[in-house]
Amino acid sequence: MRPGPSGLPHHSLPLRNVGPPLHPDAREHEPYVGGQPAANPGGLAGAPAAFQTMAAGGASQLGAGAVAVPPAERLPSDDPVYPNAVKISHSSKIPAVAGKIAHSMRSREWPTLLVAGNSSIHAAVKCLTTAGRFVHAEGILIEFEPAFRDEDHSRALLALHVLPVAVPPGAAAAAAGPSAAFAAPIQPAPPPQRRPAAFEIKVSTHSRHARVGAALSARLAEGGGASGVLLALGETAVANAVMATAHAAHYLAARRGLRLAVYATAAIVVKEGGQLNGVALEVRLQSGHAGAAPAVAAPGDAAAPALVPAVPPELGLAGLSLGPS
């Protein structure tokens, strides 16, 4: 295995996807049949272990406004280290997993996505971006904190912890049954407004994720709370970008006691004069840490732009592409 400039070997080549192609835009609505959830979508029904929510001061049971969900509709939770975890593979059914994540968010349950390999990471990002579309109109943003699951940080073994958010009233109304909560949004809410990013880093299939992570952590630590965007196109590039966020999270936590939040969305990537569908990872310091700015702009903030699926090239600093040296 060829070592990179950081001294760590580059992670393994992407796994081959033998299933049918899945695009994040293939399903715009949560899967349900006749007002009821699809029977065992994606083979994820099972483990009856109850979810617990993360609240300030520690873990607690579901909030008062949460919908009680039958065990068959919950994400699997058979992992002893990550009890609210779902394992993602290249063959995972994107709309089904995304629907589960969206339902968990409305019920104030914060799952962890376990990934292993490039194709698994790419599928997890698709699940998160699709789930984000399901709940965006309800005022819910899905952010995650990446963490390595192995001491060897060159391996693509990650846990993507979905971060707790303030669920708007009505997103999981107690008067509605769990099937209705799964099938469609209950109460619309104003879409959240996000602050502009200060810099952009383009990640390619040849980028060294440890180098990108080091550059990202330095920018965030010295940027006065400004967020940055990683742009990626294709499975390997997206996996490199997510790995880079995990490196940055490790560097900042170990050296400065800071924590990251990552927001994934679809984006338009310009390549060779053409516009292609890619992924944008907006990375920021979590609120409450030194220099961190809130991810969502306050109401009435004139500088707050509307959330858009693409990152314009004129955004902040010039893009930085970190490829092989």
Domains in the chain: ranges and CATH:
32-183 (3.30.110.20), 199-321 (3.30.110.20)
pLDDT at 165: 85
What's the burial of 265, exposed, middle or buried (CB within 10 Å: 0-12/13-18/19+)? buried
* Angle, CA 94 vertex, CA 24 and CA 85 arms, to 5°: 125
Sign of the Cα pseudo-torsion (113, 192, 251, 269, in order)? positive
Q: What is the DSSP letter of 41?
A: G
pLDDT at 263: 96
Q: Give the DSSP H/E element, type plus range, for residue 47.
A: none
Q: Give the DSSP H/E element, type plus range, for residue 249.
A: helix 235-256
Judged against a pLDDT cut of 60, whether residue 143 lies above it is answered with yes
Average pLDDT over residues 40-67: 35
Confidence class of residue 176 from pLDDT cuts 50, 70 and 90?
very low
Confidence class of residue 196 from pLDDT cuts 50, 70 and 90?
confident
Q: Are the CB atoms for 150 and 118 separated by under 8 Å?
A: no
Judged against a pLDDT cut of 90, whether residue 144 lies above it is answered with yes
Judged against a pLDDT cut of 70, whether residue 198 lies above it is answered with yes
CA distances from 58 to 164, 217, 254, 298 (A): 12, 27, 22, 27
Q: Answer with the residue of higher pLDDT: 248 or 73.
A: 248
Tokens matching residue 82: 């990550």
Q: Are the CB atoms for 127 and 146 separated by under 8 Å?
A: no
Lowest mean pLDDT among 27-31, 121-125, 272-276, 280-284: 27-31
Judged against a pLDDT cut of 60, whether residue 40 lies above it is answered with no
Sheet order of strands, 260-271 included? 85-87, 112-116, 157-162, 143-148, 260-271, 274-285, 228-232, 199-203, 320-321
What's the burial of 257, exposed, middle or buried (CB within 10 Å: 0-12/13-18/19+)? exposed
Instruction: Map tokens 């715009």 to a residue.
Output: 28
